[in-house]
Amino acid sequence: MRELQKVIIEELGVKPHIDPTHEIDRRVEFLADYASNAGVEGFVLGISGGVDSTLAGYLAQQAAETLRNRGTDARFHAMRLPHGVQHDEDDAQLALDFISPDQVHTFNIEKSVTGVDVAYREAFGNRLADYHRGNVKARLRMTVQYAVAGENNALVIGTDHAAESVTGFFTKFGDGGADILPNFTLNKRQVRQILQHLGVDEHIWSKAPTADLLDDTPGQLDETELGITYDEIDDYLEGQHIDDDAAARLERHYLSTRHKRTVPVSLLDDWWKTG
Ligand SMILES: Nc1ncnc2c1ncn2[C@@H]1O[C@H](COP(=O)(O)OP(=O)(O)OC[C@H]2O[C@@H]([n+]3cccc(C(=O)O)c3)[C@H](O)[C@@H]2O)[C@@H](O)[C@H]1O
Ligand SMILES: Nc1ncnc2c1ncn2[C@@H]1O[C@H](COP(=O)(O)OP(=O)(O)OP(=O)(O)O)[C@@H](O)[C@H]1O
Ligand SMILES: [Mg+2]
């Protein structure tokens, strides 16, 4: 195994094989125990229709029910956060049907994004690039989820897992801005494996991942932008040998996004001087 591969697998806590029932139970318990300890009354999470939020949303709903069985009046607030009309809205509805959350709130972020567009043009005289506007969408979704969490004494759930964390393929302080990460340590095929085990519609568990942040290319696949497949990422995280070029590309993504996997850098840090 490559030297850096060992370090990454250790840092992200990935196991080559999982038992879905055990993984579900320990993650639900983690959410419920943490919430009890923090004195909060529930969870907030955007449901996109993608694989990651379908699993995290299911775990959040189970944790809310666990807390209620323990006598705490907890709720899971699932949020639809489309930008205008989402091209795969049907998938988001399928995911919600499966999760069956206590509450569903819909907040369309399009007006807020347009507000940033207008003020940006007034300030700088030009249009914000589609790519950076995509990250504004992710950060506005984070802002809205924190508003709902504040109003309901709840925690914001993040959907980051090992196969996303390793490439830093998330918006810093956008979808990366959250309080608790129930999918962490899993790679992408393990997220799918758990959903399949739970009996989710195949259309959802087998769905190709998309950040879906760009207006110019709606539904652009993550793999297209990353230049590496999730199968390669998953194999690497399971300690398997992958093509040297793919491994090198993956390790470049990992090293260039270390700032996203830590608190803001200060004078007391020196992690950035290596690698
Ligand atoms: N070395 C460094 N040390 C400390 N901070 C550093 C830094 N380099 C950049 N930065 C900061 O980080 C910013 C860039 O990071 P960021 O704003 O995240 O922007 P960036 O990494 O360019 O974009 C986010 C990426 O994730 C993708 N994405 C977004 C959302 C969801 C998903 C998904 O599938 O889940 C994927 C998106 O398509 C894009 O490829 C810079 O503007 C700068 O402020
Ligand atoms: N349109 C949306 N409505 C609600 N939440 C969203 C939306 N788009 C993104 N999110 C939130 O941002 C998170 C990050 O997006 P990401 O694409 O990584 O995950 P996903 O869509 O759940 O799964 P996949 O990676 O398989 O597409 C989502 O899990 C979800 O919580
Ligand atoms: Mg997605």
> SS in 3 state form for the chain?
CCHHHHHHHHHHCCCCCCCHHHHHHHHHHHHHHHHHHHCCCEEEEECCCCHHHHHHHHHHHHHHHHHHHCCCCCEEEEEECCCCCCCCHHHHHHHHHHHCCCEEEECCCHHHHHHHHHHHHHHHCCCCCHHHHHHHHHHHHHHHHHHHHHHHCCEEECCCCHHHHCCCCCCCCCCCCCCECCCCCCCHHHHHHHHHHCCCCHHHHCCCCECCCCCCCCCCEHHHHHCCCHHHHHHHHCCCCCCHHHHHHHHHHHHHCHHHHCCCCCCCCCHHHCC
In a domain, 177, yes or no: yes
* CATH number of residue 64's parent domain: 3.40.50.620
The structure's pTM equals 0.97
Which residue's C-alpha comes closest to atom 24 of ligand 1?
171
Stretch 31-35: mean pLDDT:
98
Domain of 185, in residue numbers: 17-220
The pLDDT value given to residue 271: 87
pLDDT in tens, 224-273: 999 999 999 999 999 999 999 999 999 999 999 999 999 999 999 998 89
Confidence of residue 194 (pLDDT cuts 50, 70, 90): very high
The pLDDT value given to residue 136: 98
In a domain, 246, yes or no: no
Residue 152 Cβ inside 6 Å of ligand 1? The answer reads no
Provide the ipTM: 0.95
In a domain, 62, yes or no: yes
> Which residues belong to the active site?
52, 164
Per the structure, how many domains does the chain have? 1
In a domain, 200, yes or no: yes
pLDDT in tens, 44-92: 999 999 999 999 999 999 999 999 999 999 999 999 999 999 999 999 9
Residue 223 Cβ inside 6 Å of ligand 1? The answer reads no
Mutating to test ligand 2, I would choose from 44, 52, 155, 231 the residue with most ligand atoms within 8 A of its C-beta, which is 52
The pLDDT value given to residue 125: 98
In a domain, 32, yes or no: yes
In a domain, 69, yes or no: yes
In a domain, 242, yes or no: no
The pLDDT value given to residue 274: 81
Confidence of residue 8 (pLDDT cuts 50, 70, 90): very high
Which residue's C-alpha comes closest to atom 13 of ligand 1?
172
pLDDT in tens, 114-169: 999 999 999 999 999 999 999 999 999 999 999 999 999 999 999 999 999 999 99
The pLDDT value given to residue 171: 98
Confidence of residue 27 (pLDDT cuts 50, 70, 90): very high
Span from the CA of 105 to the centroid of ligand 3 (angstroms): 18
Stretch 14-29: mean pLDDT:
98
What percentage of the chain exceeds 90 in pLDDT? 99
In a domain, 130, yes or no: yes
